[in-house]
Structure 1
Amino acid sequence: MISAIEGWWSDGHTASRRRVRLARAGGQLRLVGIESGAEAVYLGLADLRLTEEVYRGQPLRLAHPDWPDAILTIEDHRLIEWLYDDAPRLRRRYLARHGARWRFAVWGGALIAVLVVLTLAVPRAMVLLAPSVPAAWAEALGEITVETLASNRSTCREPRAQAALEELVARLAAGADAPYRFTVRVFESPVANAVTTTGGHIVIFSGLLELGQTPEELAAVLAHEIAHGVERHPLKALLRDMGYRLLVALMAGDASVGADLVSEAARLTLERSHSRADEAAADELAMTLLHRAGIDSRGVARLFQRLVEQKERTTVPALLSTHPGLAERIAAAETRQRSGKPALTSSTWRAVRAMCGR
């Protein structure tokens, strides 16, 4: 049984505070001045509350709606036990029972939850900005990204072959509602791959020209890369992976950004692995572009099958390693494929395959 608890009462009307002794009187807390013997103050227990969260070693500061400016300060935490059943509002902010470990767990858990939300939600929110990015900004960023890729690679510049590639890209892109004009460059590299940067800049590595056996297979790759550009997949990937840094550059209206940012954009362009959903969308649109251009679309399944065969013989080529679900995509391509015109003439195709001097 608690015999007596004392505290300090500040009524809010004067600057002084009185030392008081606390006693229970039915459903109320009775405060009686110790030195002055002043008239008692009664506070209803049901509405008694703590003004702040209280931990071990801190004084209790209580308030009551009947005395809106008054504060009752008590050092003795036994008050909580004494009034526990009749003053339920005191329990809400009294945390001394849990100790430091509990507080650490609660705050640590809250911090982890915030980080998880930011990790999951922010990248997705960034992707939603892609349609709002000006085409000119995306084109400029893509151009300097390609120039960065070209800084340590030789560019294949045979005029006839380059003109044929540009014409083929234009034929395919004409069937799309593209936000920008597509360009194409070929770099000397044994890698069998093709990538698209932001703004519709397509890069082909010469190893892909050696892997493909028909111009329709090359057209299939170009249509696929154009489809990624139309769907803004490269821009969405950069917004997701680079986040706020790319957004700040966008808000500043500076597509040239910093050298480190461009270098990272170039690296991510080469290492990017699109999701199955993005690949499926690009495959579907690529087929549509081939059909609208009147080009034989059977090259899609043939190229995929060649990649599977190469995987069985050697290491996984870059084009295959970054494109998941190949078996399903072959089946889907065979379902929609149809015959059509050649993508290039025989002589032009030979020139394209030899444009890097091989």
Structure 2
Amino acid sequence: MVAALVAGGLGGSLGYTLAEENDSGGSTTVSSSTSGGNVKRDPGTVAAVAAAALPSTVTIEAASSSGEGGTGTGFVFDKQGHIVTNNHVVADAVDGGNLTATFPNGKKYDAEVVGNAQGYDVAVIKLKNAPSDLKPLTLGNSDDVAVGDSTIAIGAPFGLSNTVTTGIISAKNRPVASSDGSGSKASYMSALQTDASINPGNSGGPLLDAQGNVIGINSAIQSTSNGGFGTGQAGSIGLGFAIPINQAKYVAQELIETGKPVYAKIGASVSLEDSTNGAQITEQGVGGTEPVDPGGPADKAGLKPGDVITKLDDRVIDSGPTLIGEIWTHKPGDEVTITYERGGKEHTTELTLGSRVGDS
């Protein structure tokens, strides 16, 4: 890939001083009044946030045993050498492939996958022979993020490592079912939407707030090439999606402790077809199983096949994927209120979420 870098002319007043022309016909020179390297960059500026965060981000190269793979991003999660990224970034290296992480200073480390969660699209890798001076990025609180808050994304778009882009939070709780286009199962999230420029290669990198706290993991973009959400080679159109860090932190900790993801569940099969009316419990489960698990959370809450779930707590549910994404923002054991329709009438019920270990 060749990146064509075009330098444009800058006009207007840039704080320069003009040397006076002498009478001998000598040349006129232009000198900068200050050197960029000496400018003080106050805390909270994009430059200051980027300078603090870049040393704790890595460019990840993953390749399968056959040599297929790609490039993504990750960030330092703890001092033990754990790096958080997307599952789709490291998926090629899960079964015996090659995995490396390169810091902005050029230091490159071999790494291994500690655990990966396909459904959440979160993975944790660990550096081999990790340095002792790792500085984990500070994790923020994604629940406190507001629409309009400033965002800073760091990644390696199209292989251009250590790239910084800026924007705002343009929406919250955006239901996203993303796929890498390889035919694998979709990942579901209730995402933070940002207009910071995100492209292939940004995946797995941190989405920061104006103070430099991680509020999300950049994971998907709206693609004009396939008309949907994905991680393919389409460019940014200003619609990027990040996994909220509160969810990603929980998933990462589970992966570090057990190597396997744990998903909250209601114990019912729902239709994944596009809809705006809610998430309908199917008449038949996957592979001929019961659509409502006998004795499971949905069964105990009185839900039945054909019921259409329209709300989970105060979140409007417009489809099956939206319901899955909202359920996965919770932990097993959480109590939620389900609003559903049956026979044209609206009902509510309380439900305690169950758990499922591992991807299936």
TM-score normalised over the length of structure 1: 0.21
- Rg larger for: 1
TM-score normalised over the length of structure 2: 0.21
More strand by share: 2
More helix by share: 1
Which fold has the larger relative contact order, with Cα–Cα distance below 8 Å and residues 6 or more apart in sequence?
A: 1
